[in-house]
Structure 1
Amino acid sequence: MITARLCAPAYELGEYRDSVAELPELLADPRTAAELTSPAAGFDTYRWSDAPVVELMAEAVRRTLGDAGVPGDEVDLVLLATDSLPRDRSAHRDVAELLAEAGLTRATASTLGLMDCATAMAAVGTAASLVRDGSARHVLVVSGDLADHATGGERVVAGGAAIASDAAAAALVSATAAGLPVLGMAHHTSAGTGNGGGARRELASRVAAHRELFARLAARHPLRPEDVHAVLPSNFARNVLEIYLSDVGYGGDKLALGNVGRIAHCLGSDPLINLADRLAEAKSAGVSTTGATDGHLVLLGAGISHLAAVLLGARALPEAPEGAF
């Protein structure tokens, strides 16, 4: 079977940086402001943009293709994980401009949605399936959202557990380029989350949803918490993530939470941003792997009612020899 590799994750943040504490929503609600900016939750700054989302996407794509060493005209398919494209036919024009600017002359573009901030991880899993079965050699996954479009302009999101930022991210899923092997993907939708019923019921629903997601992931690829070096999640409040993930064995040092304060919740792009930063840190330290010695990585995208996780091998595979595909 062909191995699908996740290659060269890259991102572009909104060009403006502001203090979370200065958000009008939080100035009007001191109690929520104190909770979200406390060390336990960890939010400090967020990013925003007045450019179209495809401009942020184009920068992320440019970096990904350059780092992967794959020409744009060799990409077969582009999967766009976003809720921020225009709602009319102008979206076709914007995407066509994105493809042209990146030199993606052979690629077909399609959008994925309806899973909120879990969509990008579902897109990575879909791309890996297409590569494994030989339908494509290179699939580009591009995520990106602007709060003005994706959340109706709201910055306090996820039931008050996160602060939304504007950003885009990209990664190549490839049969031949060097990258981390994609070992499996699982997703779960819970009708019980995001529907009210009180804080206790909501917490129970979310804990149960995370248990089900990781059970499904382990059913597809044998997996125990001790097999995982790190979970790179959506950037919700640190204390919230600890509740959900400690319950399934992935709390403490296994949780990558460093970007919560630095960039807030970049919606569906968070896991790819966190992976890109992790790989960059490993590279600057002279480490040729992800920094893990004997464990896998899990990318976790979480929306209001949806979860999706991608399991990655700990060590990058080199480029496949010519003729391997």
Structure 2
Amino acid sequence: MITARLCAPAYELGEFAEPVTELPELLADPRVAAELTAPGAGFHTYHWSDAPVTELMAHAVRGTLAESGVPASEIDMVLLATDSLPGDRSAHRDVAELLEETGISRATAVTTGLMDCATAMVAVGTAASYVRDGTARQVLVVTGDLAAQATGGARIVAGGAAIASDAAASVLVSATASGLPVLGMAHHSDAGLHQAGAPQQQLLARVAAHRELFGRLAARRDGGGLDDVRTVLPSNFAGDVLELYLGDVRLGGDRLSRANVGRVAHCLGSDPLINLADRLAERKHAEPEDGTLVLFGAGVSHLAAVLLGAAPLPVRTEPGP
């Protein structure tokens, strides 16, 4: 079987950066403001854009193509993981322009959605399946959202656990380029997670959902478990919220990456890829690691995670698995 490799994550933040303390929503609610700006939560800056989401996507895609070394003309499929495209036929025009501007001339473009901030991780898992079974050799996953479209303009999101930013990210899932091997993917949905209920019931339901998701991800390894996970690169919720849910499944503490919560806020589905891009940039000249990494995206009623090998596989030049 062909090994799918995750290659060259890149991202583009909204062109304007503002302190979260200046958000009207926080100014109007001192209690929520205190919670989200406390050291345990960690929000400091959010980003916003007055450009269409496809413009942010184009910047990210160019970064991925340049870093991966795979020509745009060789991309077979583009999976667009977003809830921020127009809801009418103009979305077709916008996507066509995105492909034209980035030189992607022969790819089939498909949109995925309805899973909120878990959508991009499901798209990565889908791309890896296409590569492994030979349907495609080079699949580009592009995620991006603007709060104006994705959240109706709200900046306080995820039940008060995050502040939304505008951003886009992309990554190549490849049969041949140098990248991190995709070892498994799991997702979990529970419509009851977004239904009204007592706070304690909501907490217990979310704890149970995280246990289910990571139990499924561990099972993908034929009993190997997740003990060798070095880092979890998650959705950028408040740090104390992340620690609550991921600490319960023994993926918190030093293994949980929270460095970008303050710097970029919650870029919706793009968070795990943004966090991965920054991690790889920091380790560019470091020795290869053993073990695994987890990309984790959480939406209102959906969770998804992708398990990666921490050490990149080299460029594959010969046909074969």
Tell me whether the two structures share a fold, i.e. TM-score over 0.5: yes
| In structure 1, C-alpha distance between the alignment counterparts of 2:224 and 2:275, rounded to whole Å | 21
Q: How many residues align?
A: 320
Question: Which residue of 1 is the match for residue 70 of structure 2?
Answer: 70
Q: Is structure 2 residue 305 aligned with structure 1 residue 309?
A: yes
| In structure 1, C-alpha distance between the alignment counterparts of 2:56 and 2:183, rounded to whole Å | 29
- Please report how far the alpha carbon of residue 288 of structure 1 lies from its aligned counterpart in structure 2 after TM superposition: 5.0
| In structure 2, C-alpha distance between the alignment counterparts of 1:209 and 1:223, rounded to whole Å | 21
Structure 2 residue runs of 5 or longer lacking an equivalent are none
Q: Is structure 2 residue 250 aligned with structure 1 residue 249?
A: yes
| In structure 2, C-alpha distance between the alignment counterparts of 1:160 and 1:106, rounded to whole Å | 42
Paired residues of 2:218 and 2:226 also in contact (CA < 8 A)? no
Worse overlay, 241-250 or 216-225: 216-225
| In structure 2, C-alpha distance between the alignment counterparts of 1:113 and 1:239, rounded to whole Å | 28
Residue 47 of structure 1 aligns to a residue whose secondary structure is strand
**CA deviation map 1:57-108 (0-9, x unaligned):** 0000000000000000000000000000001100000000000111110101
- Please report how far the alpha carbon of residue 295 of structure 1 lies from its aligned counterpart in structure 2 after TM superposition: 1.7
- Please report how far the alpha carbon of residue 191 of structure 1 lies from its aligned counterpart in structure 2 after TM superposition: 2.2
**TM-score, with length taken from structure 2:** 0.98
| In structure 2, C-alpha distance between the alignment counterparts of 1:235 and 1:33, rounded to whole Å | 17
Structure 1 residue runs of 5 or longer lacking an equivalent are none
Paired residues of 1:225 and 1:249 also in contact (CA < 8 A)? no
| In structure 2, C-alpha distance between the alignment counterparts of 1:288 and 1:139, rounded to whole Å | 28
Distance 1:223 1:51, change over 3 A: farther
Residue 192 of structure 2 aligns to a residue whose secondary structure is coil
Question: Which residue of 2 is the match for residue 33 of structure 1?
Answer: 33
Give 1:107-126 correspondences, 5 Å limit: 107-126=107-126
| In structure 1, C-alpha distance between the alignment counterparts of 2:147 and 2:36, rounded to whole Å | 18
Paired residues of 2:219 and 2:225 also in contact (CA < 8 A)? no
AA at the equivalent of 2:177: A
- Please report how far the alpha carbon of residue 192 of structure 1 lies from its aligned counterpart in structure 2 after TM superposition: 2.4
Paired residues of 2:112 and 2:119 also in contact (CA < 8 A)? yes
Give 1:178-197 correspondences, 5 Å limit: 178-197=178-197
Question: Which residue of 2 is the match for residue 217 of structure 1?
Answer: 217
Residue 240 of structure 2 aligns to a residue whose secondary structure is helix
Give 1:121-270 correspondences, 5 Å limit: 121-221=121-221, 222-270=223-271
| In structure 1, C-alpha distance between the alignment counterparts of 2:256 and 2:35, rounded to whole Å | 20
**CA deviation map 1:164-198 (0-9, x unaligned):** 00000000000000000000000000122121211
Residue 60 of structure 1 aligns to a residue whose secondary structure is helix
Paired residues of 1:176 and 1:324 also in contact (CA < 8 A)? no
Q: Is structure 2 residue 316 aligned with structure 1 residue 320?
A: yes
Worse overlay, 293-302 or 167-176: 293-302
- Please report how far the alpha carbon of residue 225 of structure 1 lies from its aligned counterpart in structure 2 after TM superposition: 3.8
| In structure 2, C-alpha distance between the alignment counterparts of 1:40 and 1:215, rounded to whole Å | 27
Percent identity (aligned): 72
Paired residues of 1:217 and 1:223 also in contact (CA < 8 A)? no
**CA deviation map 1:215-256 (0-9, x unaligned):** 111111244342100100000000000000000000100000
AA at the equivalent of 2:308: L
**TM-score, with length taken from structure 1:** 0.97
